[in-house]
Each structure stands twice: as C-alpha cells, then as structure tokens.
Structure 1
Amino acid sequence: MFSETLPIYLIFGANTDVGKTICTTSIVNSASINGYNPAYIKPVQTGYPLDSDAEFVRRYTNASVQTLYSYSTPASPHLTALEENRVISDEDLLIKIEEKILETMKLKTSKLLLLETAGGVNSPTMSGTLQSDVFRKFRFPVILIGDSKLGGISTTISSYESLKIRGYDVPILIFFENKKYLNHEIIKQHVSSETTIFLLTTPPKNENLHNNNGNKDLVKYFEDSAKTAELILKKLAALHKARFERLKELNDDGEKKVWWPFTQHRAFSQGKRAMVIDSAYNDDFTIFKPDEAQYSSDRLFDGCASWWTQGLGHGNPHMAKEAAYAAGRYGHVISPEAIHEPAQALAEEILSSAGKDWASRVFYSDNGSTAIEVALKMAFTKTSLESQKKMLIDKPSNEIIQWNVIGLEGSYHGDTIGAMDISDPSVYNAKVHWYTGKGFWFNPPTYYEKNKRFYLNISDSIVSSVELDTEEIEFNSMAEIFSVKRNKSYLRKVYNKYIVNGLKKFLQNNLNVKKKFGALVIEPLILGAGGMLFIDPLFQKELIFCARNPELWDASSPPLPVVFDEIFVGMYRLGVNLPSVASLFTCDDDFSYLPDIACYAKCLTGGLLPLSVTVTTDEIFKVFDGDSKLEALLHGHSYTAHPIGCQVALYSLKEYKKISLNKKFEWTIWDAQLLTTISCSEKVARVNSFGTILVVELNSQMKGYLSNKESLKLVENLKSSKGIFCRPLGNLVYFMASQRSLRKDLDLILNNIWKAIQDL
C-alpha cells in the first residue's frame, strides 16, 4: 500500500532507548509548523498509560495521534501479551494498521503519516514474530533512529542490514549528536550512499519525560531542533517525489529497453502499458497504479506463481538470509573436481527425496532447458553406446543416425534448440526455421472435471487406431483415475496396442533416413505450457513399459532411458509429500513409474533464483566412465552448482518437508466443492486441479494457444477488480498457489475467480 498524496514512513529504532519517540516528535512538530497536518500511529504500546508514545507526540505537537494496541506491563510485546492474555495475531495487527491508514487517506487532510514501531528493529510483536518481518507486507520507506551511545555502531549497522536484507528502503538515518563517540562518522562508511544521515542535538536529560504536565526543556528543545527537522522533512518530500516520478517513468517507458519473452511488443506502441511491480511479498505483488490519486487496492495475488517458480513466497526473509550467508561465505566458486557444503548437502537431500529408491547422482545446471539438454546427452549417449556394443546397428563409418525421442503431443521442454527439437510442432516453434522435430509424439488421453463428474477423454488417434467404441469414460473422483486397480483394466491393452503400432509405423516410415529412438521424454501427469493438459497416468505408465521393452516394437533397440521433465510439476508443486511425481506411485507394484533421469528447477529454490538439476541413476553415470576425458560428460557452465543457489534450494526443500509434516496429502489445496460448482457453469469447458495448480478452460469456438478472446476478458477482470494477476494459455486461464499459501486466502481468491467467470 502506498499513495502519491500521502507519504508514509515507518520509524524503527536501532535499539530500545535510542530516543526514537523524541526524534519522531521533532519531525512531527516541524511537519505541523510547515502545514503538513501530520498523522502519527503507534501500533503497539507497552507500559501504558505511564508510557505512551502517542500521548508524548500529542503533547508537544498538533498532530493527529493514535495507539492501536496497548498493554500495561512494561516489557516486550510478546511477553506482556501473554501475561495479560491478549495475544494479537500478526494478521489482525496488519488489518488494524491498514484500516487506520485508509481512514487517514480518505480524510485527505494529512500530507505525512508516521508509524512508530516498538523497541528495536528485530523486537517481536505480540505473536512473537519479528516486527521487521510483520511490517514487511507494507514495505514503507524507513526512518532508522541510530544508536549514538557506546556499542551503538554495532547495533545500528546490524539493524540497518536486517532491514535491507528484508527489502526495505532506508533513505534516512538519524542520530543524536554524541561528540565523544561520533558513531555516525564510522557508520556513514558502511551504509549506502542513498541513505542520508542527519544529526539532531542531544535532548535534555530528564528521567520523567513522559510526565503529564509536559517539560519546558523539551518544548525549548523541539523549538531549537525545528530547523534540522525541517531539513529532514524536505528530504522526505524529495524522496517521495522522486519515488513516484520513477514509478511513472517505469509505467511510461518500462517497455522501451527490455525485450520481454513471449510478448508481442507492438501492443505497447498502441498505448498498452507495463505492469509496474514495486515489490512482492508472500503470494502478492505490490503494483503501481498511475490512474488513481490514492492506492487502497494495489496488491495483486500472483496467480501464476511468477512463472511457476514460487514455492515459499516472495520476499521470504529466511531465504534471503540463506542467500546472504552463502554469498558471504563463498560468492561463487568453481565446480569441476571441487565440492562445497551446499552442493553436497543439496545433492544428498534431493537423492533422499525426489530421487529416493532410484537415483544416485545429481548434475547441476542453471535452468530447466539446460537440465533437459543434459538429460538428452545422458540418454542418447547411453542408447547409442549400448546399440553399438551389442552390434544391433550395422552402421557404416560415414552414416549418421538421427536419434529421436518418444513423447507426447503438446509437450514443451524449454527454449534451447535441443529442447525445442524434442517437442512436437506447435506455436512455440512454428516460426523457428531451424526446428527439425526429432521425435514421435503420441496424442495422449486426458481427464478433466465437468458437471460434478470426472471424464477421461480418449484421443481420436487412439479411438481410430484400435477401433475403440467410446471416446469418454466417467469417473467419480481423481482417486479412481489414479487407482492401481486400473493397471489390469482393458484400457491398458488398448494403450499398449496404440503405442506399439505407432512406434512400429514411425520406424517403418523412416528406414531410409536411419531414425532411431534414443529416449522416452515426458512431462509426467501434466503438460504445462502445451495447454495444461492432465494426462491419464495409466497411459504414461504404459509408455514407460513399452520404452523399457523394445522387443515389442523394435528388436534392434536396447531399452530406452526414461526421462521425466519435472521442471513444472516437481518439488511439491503437486502437493505435500510429493517431492516428485514418482512419490505418488510408491505403492504401485504392477508398473514402474520411476525414471532413469529426472529434471528439476523452478520450485527447487523456492522462487528466489535460478538453479536446476538433472538427477540420474548409477547405470547412466557409468556410461560416461572411461580412460579419456572425451568419454566424460562434457557439459557445464560457469555458475554450475553456485553455492548461493544450492544453499537456498537446500533451505527450500527442508521447508517443504516441514509443511508436509503439518498437512496430509490432498489432491488439491483449492476448495474442491467450489471447483465442482465452477465446472457446472455453461461458460466453462473443463476444470482441472492438482496440488497447487488450478486450470479453468472457457467455452470457445476456437481452440489453441491463440484463441484467447474470452480468457483475456477474464484475466483483465480479475486484475482490475478482483486483485488477482494471472496469465492465459489460449482459451484457458491457470492459477497457481505457493506451497505455503493459506487455505482461507485461497478460498477468497477462488470465490473471486468464480465471480469473474459469472461476469463474463
């Protein structure tokens, strides 16, 4: 929340007893004199009424003052709240603060609002949470009152760094003059040049500054300090103006120097403007709205989890601390033939969770596409060498074999050339003239919810190839679709016949060009960018079975490595207790749903920074064992296994585990009953939800990526009036929560989604 017409500043102290309230009163007094009509809010006061910072400010100024919560015991808020049996939650505290801010905004009389915290920067609130974390939701610029006394250098710098690491701007740092220690001179060398230091004269010594009759010496003090306070006011005004000028500049010109991915820029030459994200915290963006005089609803739910990366919330202070620790300890260090603690510990954690019972090695890279490229090198090398060793290929020295993948229509594995080539022809590669399409892709059966039932849609290619007499099969629930009982169903035989016939036909049609299959590469369970298609797990099980039993379709082929692209669905995206898709099938003895190679990224680092891993078996690793370096896996980049990413990822995986311990597995974290209601709407073609993912496809005459007329209407309505940011994929809109999102928040969001659908 921020406003161009009402500058709001948060006042923190570097410690208790640093004169925070006296500094605040000096600023408020000067603001009153200069016509700012200032407002002052004290969210939490202890030792009341003997101590009342709000009353102190009122006594020496003409400001409007308020105390929101007061306790009589003179102690830390978390202690006095327990003692007086009045513990206030962080949420209730923030709601109360926001209410008072909005009241002040509506009056339109104040030109400055100051919120004074209690104690030091990292003093706790009534709940025990550090107030630096609680107030981060607002991210108001901070006026930090430094400690001028002996020992104050350390406390001030520590406080300053605590605020900066949480994403606060600290433009003003105020000290009382102390000619003996001159703390401000050394501290100036250790803070940003964007932080201005002001000195106030030392206030008179009086052990009873809060007495009800006032203090003549203090009256004189505030008169004498008015000039310095006026300089502070002018600086605050200049900072506020500069902040909004920059935000407006970003809004007007934010498109002119950056080339955005997946964006047609021409629309911006026709008047469209960029969404300016001022900050982000937990599940929300704080955005700049240039067309409003005051901003009361400037937070948007990040409904796409910032391209599917968010797992532990934006601006997570614990992740920031982990990153800072690794940056301070290592920076970046070289990876080959070296090991560091974060890389080793993360590898151990991945192998015991996502790689449990099948994997033995972790190869680090930087993003999902690269992880796929590494997986292809691993898989194709294994298949090629095994084919040659077994004399299964009569290959003249000048003959080149084109290695292909088995995959699914609608697959998407990234934007690098190799990753693009293993996806079927689509809108993503239609204009890529060097795309060659190295694979055979099956049209998979998909399932969805509609009108209180779950339907399995058998693709036309399956129906026509095996003469199946139905295109849809009904289920009562997701659990039925995933039941191991289906492993012995007639449909498995249908799938087997369709897969085997398809592979044989592909090879027969390509005898002259020597095309062979080198791997099965699939996005398990859900095709993401290809249209958020939810795949029948039985079909993918049969694909894996056929890939590992090539005698069914090609006697000359060795068993194919199975590659899981879990960049989207992995790392608990599908719900608690599911670090990988394979975790869902641990009790399934009839089929193997374990990969030979799996790729993870996105949620791996909780949404903070890029890192990816390609996880594999010892069997794959040994393929690259040899006497020559030429036989090694010659792949890597400068920032392989960068310690900052590894440290953050390790923290993230441990946090996911903690969340899992407190929750039981559910198919979806969204309200299943309301999802069923939405599925009954005539405006909705299908609903799918799994874990944190929610997909709503709208009824439309057109299909595909470019059919987005109705979905764009929905997206704009959600953004402009419902406080939800999301992105369309053709005629569908998807939503994604983080793994730590609260159910009560998601219920409100889902209700707003339902209202927006009804508004179409």
Structure 2
Amino acid sequence: MSNANLLTRSLAAVWHPCTQMKRHESLPLIPLASGEGAWLVDMDGQRYLDGISSWWVNLFGHGEPRIKAAIRAQLDTLEHAMLAGFTHRPVVELSERLAALTGLGHAFYASDGASATEIALKMSAHYWRNRGEPGKHRFVHLAGSYHGETAGALAVTDVPVFRQAYAPLLQPGLTAPSPDARNARPGESAADVAERAAAGLEALFTAHGDEIAALIVEPLVQGACGMVMYDPAYLTRARALCDRHRVHLIADEIAVGFGRTGTFLASEQAGIRPDFVCLSKGITGGFLPLAAVLSTDEVYAAFYDDDVTRGFLHSHSYTGNPLACAAALAVLDIFDSDDVIKANRARAERWDALFRPLADHPQVRHYRHRGMIWAFDVADAPTGFAQAYFAAALAQGVLLRPIGHTVYLMPPYTMNDDEARQLAGAARVALDAALVAGARGNDVAVA
C-alpha cells in the first residue's frame, strides 16, 4: 500500500483525536509502519525519536518484549470475560499489587484516564449520598487543571479550549488557585507559592465545605496546561485541609504516576495518602487501554449493602480485561526486576545535564525539571508556534509536541544517552526554526 493511498483513506475514514482535521491540508499525517524502542518508523523508513512517549504512555519504549510476551501468554488462556459475576487471575493479582503500591484497595477498572476521573468523581459524590449527605456533591479543581474530556472530567478541567464548547453540558466546579512555582513573587520560594495557594484553597473550603465532595489534583505536575510544576508542600497542606473539612482528596496520577516524577506515585513525595488514586497511561506500558481507580476501605464500605441502589453504579464491557491486566502485571514486574525508580534517578541526572543548556536560549524562560519530565516556556512565541515547532522537530527526526508556548520532553525511560543527546540537539534546532517560521508569518498547521 502506498503512503498516498493510506493517507487518503485515513482522511476519508478516520476522525483523529485532538485535531482540527482541516490542518492536515498543510501538514500531512505521518503513516507509521512500526515502532521499536524509543523510535517510531514510517512507511518510507524515516525514523522519529519519540520524545513524548506517544502521549506519555510508552514507559519502556515501543515493542518491549516482556510486555509482548505477557500478552501472548494470556492469549492462550483467556482473552476477555465480563467482570460482573466473574473474576480471573490477572485482575486479582493486579488489584493486589496496586493496593500494595498505593496503600488503597478494591481497584475499579476502566479503559482510559478520563473514565478513571469520572469513576472517582461519581464514587465520591455517591459516597456522601450513601452517608446521608447528598448536599456534598461539588468538586474543586486547580486553576489550569486537566483531568480528561468526558463530561464529568471536563467539569473539573480548566483548559478553556477543552471545555468552552461543551459548557452547557457541564456541572460547574469550584476553582482553587494553582500552586504553580512560576507565580513566585520576588523573594518567594516554590514552597511559599504552595502555601499561598493552600490559603486560597482553605478559604474556598471554609465558604463551601458543606457542598464539596472532593478536591481533585494532578500531584506535582499539571500536565496539559503547560507542565506546571509545584512544591510537594501544597499536597501536604491540601491533605490536612481535606481532613479538616471532610472533603475527599482525589489524586489524578494518570500522567504522573508509574515513576514519571521520580517516585512510583507523585503523591508519595508529599508523604500523603489520597482517598482515591486514578491510574492510566503508563499502566500497560503503552500496549493496551486500561485505567484503574483505587479507594480507601472506608469509601468501599459505604457502598457495601443489600440495597442495589447503594452499590456503585458504573460499568463498561471491557472492565478488567485480562490481556490489559496481563500487560500491566508485566509493567510492574519490570519496575521490580529493573529497579526502574532508582535507574530513572540516575538517568534523570545525566539527561538533565544534556537538556539544561536549552535554558541558555535567549527566549527560553522557566526551564524546569521533575523526575522524567522536562519543560520550558518560550517568551514572545509567535502565532502558530506550537504547530511550527512540531513540524520543525519532525524535520529533525524527533516527535515533540508543544502545549501552546511550552515545550516539554517526556521520553521513554529506556532511551539511551546518545538518543537523549540527539533529542536535546533537535529540540534546540526546532526552537530556532519555529521562531524563524513565526517571524516570517508562516503559521504551520499541526494536530
């Protein structure tokens, strides 16, 4: 099949996500043939270094053989069965291991991060209803938050482009100040900003505590609003405030869990235990769709009753799919056998030395780094900067996809140092090229 034929068919048949489809008139889709390690390969054999882990999911690169082997082995026994009224070994073992890692229990499964958000929100509100407090049904989110694009998740998402079109469908939430370390005033530390944001959260709880079911946060890094990074002290204060005002704390670890910030869960760095943890993205190493929500035993007990209406009313056909659970178990095995957290700390130190010179560019501001995430903002970025940068990076054989004027790097953990060096060089070349394109008025389109 020719590239042109495949592209024509894709545009005629596929509605691509997070994409203004008309933009592909000026920037064609890339027809992929394969993936291996940190690389994607198109049908012409052109290789692209995957600097964002394919939307943050491919922890160990493409085609990791141990995950593939686990899925193949599971195919020989049970590919799928409904989880209502039945159970199976992969879902039980995965639930037990996630409980041990999070300090929570009774995993509830879904297929994607937005669905995990929906589940946690519904569980929280339903918990309070079962406790005889139906008035506690509102949710608090941080300014700039992103928790998914289904209706419930959009209600706690504060990225205008994602929610404005669907505002009439959404239940209004309450917005708390972000602890974004970039908001530091002269003489303030990141911890000072966190304390100031926590004071704003406290005021919100004081005013509306009787209505609030839960606070939902992306621990340490708010991803889709531009890789906002903040001090763990905010989470410590938020946990204490939630306890004081009887509000659940939902940790959206979908993007930042599984070692991405330097610990298995980002919330560990604050020494707290949330009431709910949402997991997805890296949970299967990028092989299959899966999400999980874990909750406290107290939450679970509030639903345990003879009355079906007091049970948790949520399901989907592929809940706890055995193949996906087998992939997730292989991921956890790799974390153990390869001592991934320790290895990542050493990688992060080496790679930061390679990436940090990007901060010397005259238009780079707020270079920042936590664990295996790097980001910087581009001052005076021209119109269409993100699109121009994406195209310029592809021309350098690298997949990087800015968020507005923020460039970020979130590579697979298994990228080697030479590849990291190549990624750093391409990021710098793409930056200069995108700025030149903007200065010429070339608004290069990108999905």
Q: TM-score, normalised by structure 1?
A: 0.54
Q: Does residue 497 of the first structure (1) align with residue 176 of the second (2)?
A: no
Q: Which has the higher helix share?
A: 2
Q: Counterpart of 2:310?
A: 631
1:439-473 Cα offsets, whole Å, 9 max, x none, are: 211221323xxxxxxxx524xxxxxxxxxxx4562
Q: Decide whether the 8 Å contact of 1:698 with 1:711 is kept in 2.
A: no
Q: Does residue 440 of the first structure (1) align with residue 164 of the second (2)?
A: no
Q: Decide whether the 8 Å contact of 2:91 with 2:322 is kept in 1.
A: yes
Q: Does residue 693 of the first structure (1) align with residue 368 of the second (2)?
A: no
Q: Which structure: larger Rg?
A: 1
1:544-595 Cα offsets, whole Å, 9 max, x none, are: 2212112xxxxxxxx11111111100112223xx221233344xxxxxx210
Alignment of 1:283-298 (within 5 A): 283-289=38-44, 298=46
Q: Counterpart of 1:384?
A: 129
Letter in 2 for 1:288: M
Q: Aligned equivalents of 1:439 and 1:667: distance in 2? A: 39
CA distance change for structure 1 residues 688 and 631 in 2, over 3 Å: closer, same or farther?
A: same
Q: Does residue 616 of the first structure (1) align with residue 295 of the second (2)?
A: yes
Shift of 1:504: 3.8
Structure 1 portions without partners, runs of 5+: 1-242, 290-294, 389-399, 448-455, 459-469, 475-480, 508-514, 551-558, 587-592, 702-706
1:162-208 Cα offsets, whole Å, 9 max, x none, are: xxxxxxxxxxxxxxxxxxxxxxxxxxxxxxxxxxxxxxxxxxxxxxx
Aligned pairs, number:
433
CA distance change for structure 1 residues 756 and 266 in 2, over 3 Å: closer, same or farther?
A: closer
Q: Does residue 371 of the first structure (1) align with residue 141 of the second (2)?
A: no
Q: Decide whether the 8 Å contact of 2:251 with 2:267 is kept in 1.
A: no
Q: Counterpart of 1:344?
A: 92
Q: Counterpart of 2:444?
A: none
Q: Secondary structure at the match of 1:626?
A: coil
- 307-316 vs 437-446, which moves further: 437-446
Q: Decide whether the 8 Å contact of 1:656 with 1:739 is kept in 2.
A: no
RMSD of aligned C-alpha atoms?
Answer: 2.4
Shift of 1:617: 1.2
Q: Secondary structure at the match of 1:540?
A: helix
Q: Secondary structure at the match of 1:689?
A: strand
Q: Aligned equivalents of 2:371 and 2:98: distance in 1? A: 20
Q: Decide whether the 8 Å contact of 1:280 with 1:286 is kept in 2.
A: yes
1:339-377 Cα offsets, whole Å, 9 max, x none, are: 211111111211222x1xx31221111111111111112
Q: Counterpart of 2:265?
A: 580
Structure 2 portions without partners, runs of 5+: 436-447
Q: Aligned equivalents of 1:443 and 1:728: distance in 2? A: 24
Shift of 1:425: 5.9
Alignment of 1:311-460 (within 5 A): 311-353=59-101, 355=102, 358-386=103-131, 388=133, 401=135, 403-424=137-158, 426-447=160-181, 456-458=182-184
Counterpart pick for 2:252 among 553, 565, 568 = 565
Q: Counterpart of 1:236?
A: none
CA distance change for structure 1 residues 664 and 604 in 2, over 3 Å: closer, same or farther?
A: closer
Q: Does residue 730 of the first structure (1) align with residue 404 of the second (2)?
A: yes
Q: Decide whether the 8 Å contact of 1:520 with 1:544 is kept in 2.
A: no
Shift of 1:386: 3.5
Letter in 2 for 1:333: A
Q: Counterpart of 1:537?
A: 232
Q: Counterpart of 2:29?
A: 274
Shift of 1:305: 1.0
Q: Counterpart of 2:243?
A: 548
Alignment of 1:132-151 (within 5 A): none
Q: Counterpart of 2:443?
A: none
1:74-125 Cα offsets, whole Å, 9 max, x none, are: xxxxxxxxxxxxxxxxxxxxxxxxxxxxxxxxxxxxxxxxxxxxxxxxxxxx
Shift of 1:402: 7.2
Q: Decide whether the 8 Å contact of 1:708 with 1:729 is kept in 2.
A: no
Shift of 1:708: 5.3
Q: Aligned equivalents of 1:745 and 1:674: distance in 2? A: 11
Q: Aligned equivalents of 1:679 and 1:491: distance in 2? A: 22
Q: Counterpart of 1:713?
A: 388
CA distance change for structure 1 residues 439 and 310 in 2, over 3 Å: closer, same or farther?
A: same
Q: Aligned equivalents of 1:712 and 1:364: distance in 2? A: 35
CA distance change for structure 1 residues 348 and 606 in 2, over 3 Å: closer, same or farther?
A: same
Percent identity, aligned pairs only?
Answer: 24
Q: Secondary structure at the match of 1:571?
A: coil
Q: Counterpart of 2:283?
A: 604
Q: Aligned equivalents of 1:686 and 1:545: distance in 2? A: 30
Letter in 2 for 1:473: E
Taking CA–CA contacts closer than 8 Å with sequence separation of 6 or more, which of the two structures ends up with the larger relative contact order? Answer: 2
Q: Counterpart of 2:188?
A: 473
Q: Counterpart of 1:527?
A: 222
Q: Decide whether the 8 Å contact of 2:235 with 2:267 is kept in 1.
A: no
Alignment of 1:90-105 (within 5 A): none
Alignment of 1:125-136 (within 5 A): none
CA distance change for structure 1 residues 674 and 311 in 2, over 3 Å: closer, same or farther?
A: closer
Q: Aligned equivalents of 1:683 and 1:473: distance in 2? A: 23
Letter in 2 for 1:539: Y
Letter in 1 for 2:175: W
Q: Secondary structure at the match of 2:71?
A: helix
Letter in 1 for 2:325: C
Letter in 1 for 2:377: E
Letter in 2 for 1:642: N
